[in-house]
Amino acid sequence: MKEITKNQEEQNEFEKPPIFGNWKTFYSVVLGELILLIVLFYSFGQYFSG
């Protein structure tokens, strides 16, 4: 069996995203927020441009 050292465990803990369980979910939320902001700013621009 392959033993995991304490240093490797600490490195694995450091590589986890701060909020969500994995990086795929984290990046999906960030991308979704970006798309939402683009749509909102475009809508506000169209509405208030006259």
Per-residue pLDDT tens digits for 2-44:
676 766 666 666 778 778 889 899 999 999 999 999 999 999 9
Query: How long a stretch of residues is the chain?
Result: 50
Query: For position 19, what pLDDT does the model report?
Result: 84
pLDDT at 50 over 90: no
Q: How far apart are the first and last CA of the chain?
A: 69
Do 23 and 17 contact (CB within 8 A), yes or no? Answer: yes
Give the amino acid at 6. Answer: K
Count Cβ atoms below 10 Å from residue 33 Cβ, excluding itself.
10
